[in-house]
Structure 1
Amino acid sequence: MSNGEYRQVWRIVIRNFLNSLKPRQIQGNNIGKDYIGNVYYEIPADPSTGKRKPSRWYDPPKGLDFQDPIPAEWEAWLRMRRKEPPTEEEIAKNLAIAEMKKVNAAKIEEQRLIDGGSLPAPVEKGHESFPTYSEYHPGDPTNKYRNK
């Protein structure tokens, strides 16, 4: 490699490094908003420039800062599991189903308490939770299952 070509490579490296330090304004297309207040954006794919996949992200409402989980429909869209963003009707339908499940669970719990049901017994943990057999005694020297 001649000296002139070598300098050209370093010039490109330094220029790219300096450009990486500059703040970039990323502006995407506003795709939608959910009932929590998250706003979803997308920069579409552009194969002519080498960008094969779209970029997708969301901004939470002020003060929440990624605390609440996002709806499943929007998460599927963000993770590229679906091509089209969810519609308002789809979100409303799934939200109504979730509310109905909460109401039904409360009714079942209320009926269980009326019928005299109690809380389920706690599950034993540790070596006490393993089954015991009357014919097997690990410390017994006359045990026929003992290793010889």
Structure 2
Amino acid sequence: MNQIRALLQRTFGLVKHHMGTDQFGNKYYYIPQQKTWIGQTIRSKRIVEAVNPKEIEYDLENIPSEWEAWMRGRRKNPPTIEEILQNEEYRKVIKIRAHEVQQKEEIRKEKEYEEGLVAQPIQTQVKGHASATYFGKDKLSPEPTSTANTFQPGGWLPPGNSSKKK
């Protein structure tokens, strides 16, 4: 497809303006709205030429969010490399601060558990839903624990009744 586009650009004189290059080496272009020699109008486009065109799928992770916003028309002017690097540094600081807050929260919870202000979560061997009658118990009881509307089939077997089929 790129070969066809290149041939059309050479043949019909489509103008492609280089708008910038990101830190990965991707090149960004703007093609203004133009009329072809046969009278057809080609709408304006914003395109990227990937540094690695051999890849079948090009991840958005390989395009800085500032350039992605320009490509989609969410921003009018293309970003500068200084802006991209400044935003990257800001994202790193935010990640570090979020990690610090998470560690402080874990320390606070541990302190509350030790002081008895908050009950520790129960680690159970028996899995199940919180509404189940056996939730939070280590093992199932042979005695029925529920009746009527709360009875759960398969939650209780009468004593002496084995699972052997006769």
TM-score by length of 1: 0.52
Deviation of the 1:64 alpha carbon: 8.0
* Stretch of structure 1 that moved more, 107-116 or 90-99: 107-116
Contact 2:47–2:71, Cα closer than 8 Å, also in 1: yes
CA deviation vs aligned residue, 1:45-96 (integer Å, no higher than 9, x gap): 2268512232422322689884543111111111233332123443233222
Residues 57 and 115 (structure 1 numbering): CA distance in 2 closer, same or farther, change over 3 Å? same
Which of 83, 106, 119 aligns to 1:90? It is 83
CA deviation vs aligned residue, 1:15-65 (integer Å, no higher than 9, x gap): xxxxx9796164722111122222212212226851223242232268988
Question: Unmatched 5+ residue regions in structure 2?
Answer: 10-14, 111-120, 122-126, 134-145, 155-166
State the AA in 2 paired with 1:73.
E
Structure 1 residue ranges (4+ consecutive) displaced by more than 6 angstroms after TM superposition: 20-23, 62-65
Looking at structure 2, the residues matched to 97 and 78 of structure 1 have their Cα atoms a distance apart, in angstroms, of 22
Specify the alignment match of 1:145 in structure 2. Answer: none
Looking at structure 2, the residues matched to 94 and 132 of structure 1 have their Cα atoms a distance apart, in angstroms, of 49
Overall identity of the aligned pairs, in %: 27
Contact 1:73–1:86, Cα closer than 8 Å, also in 2: yes
Specify the alignment match of 1:137 in structure 2. Answer: 151
Question: Unmatched 5+ residue regions in structure 1?
Answer: 1-19, 122-126, 141-148
Specify the alignment match of 2:128 in structure 1. Answer: 128
Q: How many residues get paired?
A: 113
Residues 113 and 78 (structure 1 numbering): CA distance in 2 closer, same or farther, change over 3 Å? same
Contact 1:38–1:60, Cα closer than 8 Å, also in 2: yes
